[in-house]
Structure 1
Amino acid sequence: MSETHLKLAASQRDWIAVDWGTSSLRAWYVQNDGFVQTNARSTQGAGSLTSSEFERVLLDLVGPWLKVDNTPLPAVICGMAGSRQGWVEAPYVPLPASFSELAQNVVRAPMRDTRLAPVIVPGVCQNNAAGPDVIRGEETLLLGLLSEAGTQRRTFCLPGTHSKWVHTENHRMLHSRTFLTGELFALVSQKSILRHSLEGSGDMDLDAFRRGVTDIKTGSASFLGSLFSIRASHLLNGTDPHTAYAYLSGLIIGTELKELQESGQLKPGDVVDIIANSALTRGYSSALTVFGATACVHDGDMAALKGLSKIRKDLTDDLVSN
């Protein structure tokens, strides 16, 4: 693997950064001078593992990086490895919370192999008048951006299976809101009757997507009321399945943004920081323009790595080694 010349916060010695999602696992070997020497990926996400399998899966991925000596290599892990169904639960930190609280509440993961000393970053939770919500993994991506940013109020969108919206100010996470957008789209497009009228391969029909977003924004279409019309239009008018697929995506993402607008969390003129690596960034960026907002896109891998680096810098070697 080639060396990645990304300068991060230096730590006392070499360490491993890990972002363990529900469906994927990614890791980086970081030298003590802050340079990323190598990286690796796996499709063995936390959602497919039992607690007893995490150590083996991690060692399969990073084992070639480990040395046999008397000092275990620190590993800082964010994401679903710390969920209740993960490796070991890292309890949520309540919102509002400062980012410094993430490093203060890491949890050691049980490890039989003495070459590695892993700790898991906690998620954050909200259980107040704003409504119950939980985040696990995305808080570290936010830290990666805010550790180098100012203190002004910012709005973040982290699209995916579960789309996360977080408002921050003065390096504090104020409140969050999660939408089942990606999961709902997958269910409707793959499991419902609409699957016979949709085709998602190839480039997204952006015009049809924006039409779906606009119909929701203006009220000319409602989400539930428009779903079956996609099927009927295909049967009666021969609507192209690629067009229907994009229009459905526009309806669902448009509904997400409409709810944010109606609650005052999204306003014309807002700049929304999107953190992602997927094609969703294009859709969300386009949808935000329909609502009069502007998107600023950030790479998810780099945000995760920078956030993990900040947490590693705040940890002592005693915490991750003993």
Structure 2
Amino acid sequence: MSEPAFIAVDWGTTSFRLWLLSRSGAVLAERRSAEGMTTAMRMGFADVLQAHLDAIGAPLDSPVLVCGMAGARQGWVEAGYIDVPASLSAVLDGAVRVPGQARDVRILPGLAQRDKGAPDVMRGEETQLLGALSSGEGGEKLVCMPGTHSKWVTVKDGGVTNFATFMTGELFEAISKQTILSHAVADADTFTGAHEAFTAAVRDIYAHPELATNRLFTLRSGQLLHGLTATDARARLSGIMIGLEIAGAHSQAKRETPVVLIGSGALGALYEGAFTALEINYTVIDADEAVRRGLLAAANAIWP
């Protein structure tokens, strides 16, 4: 039987995920809740964590490794940032121990890019990188992590050389709800990454990113003049935003660089559809699996 070895926690702004893991990575217990940093700031980080540990009967001697917003300046204990370019192993060296706890609780730092022309930060995604690249394969890769603020990371031989954040998800939300295009996409049905309107928009905007604001308006004019449906309009909007993001990422790297997509669910499937439409070489790693693998690799290194 697998013995408990570590407690791994991914603590986001609005979400909390905890796994009790064996040294080999077997999941022995799991907890999920909406008690992210925003809630924990009111309830107390230690109290939220302890309630979940009690619920799974976690052994008192099991250490806890945390990634995500619990290490932000307004979080539990600030874990700071590791500057890039950096080896991913440097993230382990920056783990900060939470004082005043009966058990060993540590929080992983984020990554910072201090280039004045392209300053950027990430917190939580560095652990997904650890998990996705724990196989130790060399060469250069582009790692794509879709989300409200998508991350594209250039990784070479186990080290992060640079990265860029794209506000794709947040802009999609704002455009679809707070602009004239809200009328165009209202009452749209769900669609997949194989939807013709989506893939056509991806290919078009990838080839002509300078026309982005024009292409956005055609969602409205297309309805007025050609009867564009709400579903096709929403699919086009999604294709424009995701295709624009991919074009931006490729402007900073070679197009032939293989892409590792860390994603899951409907959003991950849309990016798969976009990569397929653009004939981009990619592989997929489930986002949950990546963060668990990253926390496991870090825990095994910190507590050998």
Give TM-score scaled by structure 1 length. 0.85
Give the corresponding residue for 1:106. Answer: 95
Q: CA deviation at 1:185?
A: 0.5
- Residue 184 of structure 2 corresponds to residue 193 of structure 1: no
Amino acid at match of 2:33: S
Equivalent position amino acid for 2:19 in 1? W
Match for residue 270 of structure 1? 257
Q: What are the Cα deviations for residues 71-127 of structure 1, in whole angstroms up to 9, with x where unaligned?
A: 543110111111122222111000011122111111123455x3x432110001111
Query: Of 297, 300, 303, which residue of structure 2 is paired with 1:310?
Result: 297
Partner of residue 82 from structure 2, selected from 93, 116, 122: 93
2: CA distance, partners of 1:144 / 1:220: 32
Q: Secondary structure at the match of 1:77?
A: strand
How much has 1:137 moved relative to structure 2?
A: 0.7
- Deviation string 1:155-210 (CA, Å, 9 cap, x unpaired) is 11001111101111221111111100111111111222211221444233721111
Which one of the candidate residues 8, 19, 23 is aligned to 1:17? 8
Return 209-218 or 284-293, whichever deviates more. 284-293
2:190 aligns with 202
Comparing 193-202 and 247-256, the one that deviates more: 193-202
CA spacing shift, 1:185–1:67, aligned 2, 3 Å: closer
Aligned to 2:246: 257
- Please identify runs of 4+ aligned residues in structure 1 that moved more than 4 A: none
- Residue 113 of structure 2 is aligned to residue 122 of structure 1: no
In 2, distance between residues paired with 1:33 and 1:232?
56
Aligned to 2:159: 172
| Correspondence 1:44 to 2:35 | yes
Separation in structure 1 between the aligned mates of residue 42 and residue 91 of structure 2, nearest angstrom? 22
SS in 1 for 2:32: strand
Structure 1: 5+ residue runs without aligned partners? 318-322
> What SS does the aligned partner of 1:14 have?
strand
Distance 1:55 1:275 in 2: 30
CA contact (8 A) 1:107 1:119 kept: yes
Q: Is the 8 A contact 1:51 1:85 kept in 2?
A: no
- How far, CA to CA, are the matches of 2:80 and 2:90 in structure 1? 12
Calculate percent identity across the aligned residue pairs.
Answer: 36
Higher mean alpha-carbon deviation, 37-46 vs 175-184, is at 37-46
Matched residues in 1 for 2:266 and 2:281: separation? 17
Distance 1:15-1:51 versus aligned 2 partners, 3 A rule = farther
Aligned AA (2:89): S
The corresponding residue for 2:56 is 65
Q: Using the alignment, how far apart are the partners of 2:24 and 2:144 within structure 1?
A: 31
Matched position secondary structure for 2:265: coil
- 1:74 matches 2:63: yes
Indicate if the aligned counterparts of 1:14 and 1:30 stay in contact, CA closer than 8 A: yes
1:111 and 1:228 mapped to 2: Cα distance? 56
Q: Are 2:241 and 1:248 aligned?
A: no
Is the 1:23–1:48 Cα contact (8 Å) retained in structure 2? yes
Q: Are the structure 2 counterparts of residues 302 and 220 from structure 1 closer, same or farther at C-alpha, using a change threshold of 3 Å?
A: closer
Displacement after TM superposition at 1:42 (Å): 0.9
- Give the letter aligned to residue 231 of structure 1: R
Q: Counterparts of 1:35 and 1:98 in 2: how far apart (Å)? A: 27
Where do 5+ consecutive residues of structure 2 fail to align?
none
Q: CA contact under 8 A between 1:17 and 1:309: conserved in structure 2?
A: yes
SS across alignment from 1:50 = helix
1:311 is displaced (CA, Å) by: 0.9
Other-structure match for 2:26: 35
